[in-house]
Amino acid sequence: MASSSGGFPWITLVVFLPLVGVAAILLAEETRAKWIALGTSLVVLLCSLPLWIGFQESSPAMQFVERYRWIASPPIHYAVGIDGISLPLVLLTTFLIPLCVLVSWTAIETRVREFMISLLVMETATVGVFVALDFVLFYIFWETMLIPMYLLIGVWGGPNRVYAAIKFFLYTLAGSVLLLVAILVLFFTGGHTFDILKLSQAIYPPTLQAWLFWAFFAAFAVKVPMFPFHTWLPDAHVEAPTAGSVILASVLLKMGTYGFLRFTLPMLPDATAAFTPIIMGLSVIAIIYGAYMAFAQADLKKLIAYSSVSHMGFVTLGIFALNAQGIEGAILQMVNHGITTGALFLCVGIIYERTHSREIRDNTGLAKAMPRYATFFMIFALSSVGLPGMNSFVGEFLVLLGAFAWGKLTATLAALGVILAAVYILWMVQRVVYGEPSQQMSHKLFDLHWREMGTLIPLAGFVFWIGLYPKPVLDVMHASVEHLLQHEVRVMTVEQPPRHEKSASLSSSQMAALSGYRDGQLP
Partner 1 sequence: MWYALIPLLPLLAFVILGIGGHWIKTRAHLVAVPAVWLSLLLSLFAWVEVSTGQPVNVTLYTWASSGDLVIEVGLFIDRLAAVMLLLVTIVSGLVHVYTIGYMHGEPGYARFFANIALFTFSMLMLVMANNFLQLFVFWEAVGLCSYLLIGHWYERQTARAAATKAFIVNRVGDFGFLLGILLVFVTFGTLHYAPVFAEATQKASATVNVLDALGGKWEVSALTLICLLLFVGAVGKSAQVPLHVWLPDAMEGPTPISALIHAATMVTAGVFMVARLAPLYNLSPVAMDVVAVVGGMTMVVGATIALTQTDIKRVVAYSTLSQLGYMMMACGLGGYVAGIYHLLTHGAFKALLFLGCGSVILALHHEQDMRRMGGLKDKLPLTYWTFVIGSLALAGFPLTAGFFSKDDILVTSWAAGVLGQVLAIMGILTAFLTAFYSFRLVFVMFWGESRVDPHVRQHIHEPARVVTAPLLVLAGLSIVTGYLGIPEFLQPVFAGAETEVHHGGAAVGIMIVTTLAGFAGIGLAYVMYVRSPALPEQLAAQWQALYRLSFHKWYVDEAYDKMFVMPTFRLADRLWRKVDVAVIDGAVNGIARAFAWWGWITRFVQTGEAQNYALGMTVGAVLILTAYLML
Binding site for partner 1 (CB under 8 A): 167, 170-171, 228, 230-232, 277, 280, 289, 292-297, 323-325, 328-329, 367-368, 382, 387-389, 393-394, 397-398, 400-401, 404-412, 415-416, 418-419, 422-423, 426-427, 429-430, 433-436, 468-471, 474-475, 478, 498-500, 503
Q: Which of 71, 82, 72, 59 is nearest to 12 (CA)?
A: 82
Question: What distance in Å separates the CA atoms of residue 334 and residue 255, rounded to the nearest whole number?
Answer: 10
Residue 81 CA from chain centroid, whole number: 19
Specify the DSSP element, H or E, that contains 283: helix 269-295
Sign for the CA dihedral angle at 397, 492, 279, 208 comes to negative
Question: What distance in Å separates the CA atoms of residue 347 and residue 494, rounded to the nearest whole number?
Answer: 50
Closest distance to partner 1 from the beta carbon of 73 (Å):
37
Closest distance to partner 1 from the beta carbon of 328 (Å):
5
Closest distance to partner 1 from the beta carbon of 317 (Å):
12
Closest distance to partner 1 from the beta carbon of 310 (Å):
12
Nearest CB to partner 1, comparing residues 191 and 388: 388
Nearest CB to partner 1, comparing residues 80 and 399: 399
Q: Which of 44, 54, 41 is nearest to 118 (CA)?
A: 41
Question: What distance in Å separates the CA atoms of residue 227 and residue 459, rounded to the nearest whole number?
Answer: 28
Nearest CB to partner 1, comparing residues 201 and 430: 430
Question: What distance in Å separates the CA atoms of residue 259 and residue 225, rounded to the nearest whole number?
Answer: 12
Nearest CB to partner 1, comparing residues 122 and 222: 222
Question: Rounded to 5 degrees, what are φ and ψ at 93?
Answer: -65, -50
Closest distance to partner 1 from the beta carbon of 41 (Å):
28
Instruction: Give the amino acid at 343.
Output: A
Q: Which residues pair with 78 in a beta bridge?
A: 68
Q: Are 286 and 316 in contact (CB under 8 A)?
A: yes
Nearest CB to partner 1, comparing residues 431 and 444: 431
Question: What distance in Å separates the CA atoms of residue 144 and residue 424, rounded to the nearest whole number?
Answer: 35
Closest distance to partner 1 from the beta carbon of 430 (Å):
5
Q: Are 1 and 71 in contact (CB under 8 A)?
A: no
Nearest CB to partner 1, comparing residues 158 and 277: 277
Closest distance to partner 1 from the beta carbon of 216 (Å):
21
Nearest CB to partner 1, comparing residues 451 and 471: 471
Q: Which of 172, 195, 310 is nearest to 263 (CA)?
A: 195
Assign 240 to helix, strand or coil. Answer: coil
Nearest CB to partner 1, comparing residues 196 and 224: 224
Residue 434, CA atoms < 13 Å, CB-side half-sphere: 7
Nearest CB to partner 1, comparing residues 69 and 499: 499
Question: What distance in Å separates the CA atoms of residue 93 and residue 170, rounded to the nearest whole number?
Answer: 24
Nearest CB to partner 1, comparing residues 229 and 263: 229
Residue 27, CA atoms < 13 Å, CB-side half-sphere: 7
Q: Name all contacts of 497-505 with Cβ < 8 Å and 24+ positions apart.
A: none
Sheet holding 3-4, edge to edge: 3-4, 63-71, 76-82
Virtual torsion, Cα 259, 265, 270, 275, nearest 10 deg? 60
Nearest CB to partner 1, comparing residues 268 and 418: 418
Residue 407, CA atoms < 13 Å, CB-side half-sphere: 18
Closest distance to partner 1 from the beta carbon of 136 (Å):
29
Closest distance to partner 1 from the beta carbon of 386 (Å):
9
Closest distance to partner 1 from the beta carbon of 229 (Å):
9
Question: What distance in Å separates the CA atoms of residue 334 and residue 218, rounded to the nearest whole number?
Answer: 20
Closest distance to partner 1 from the beta carbon of 419 (Å):
5
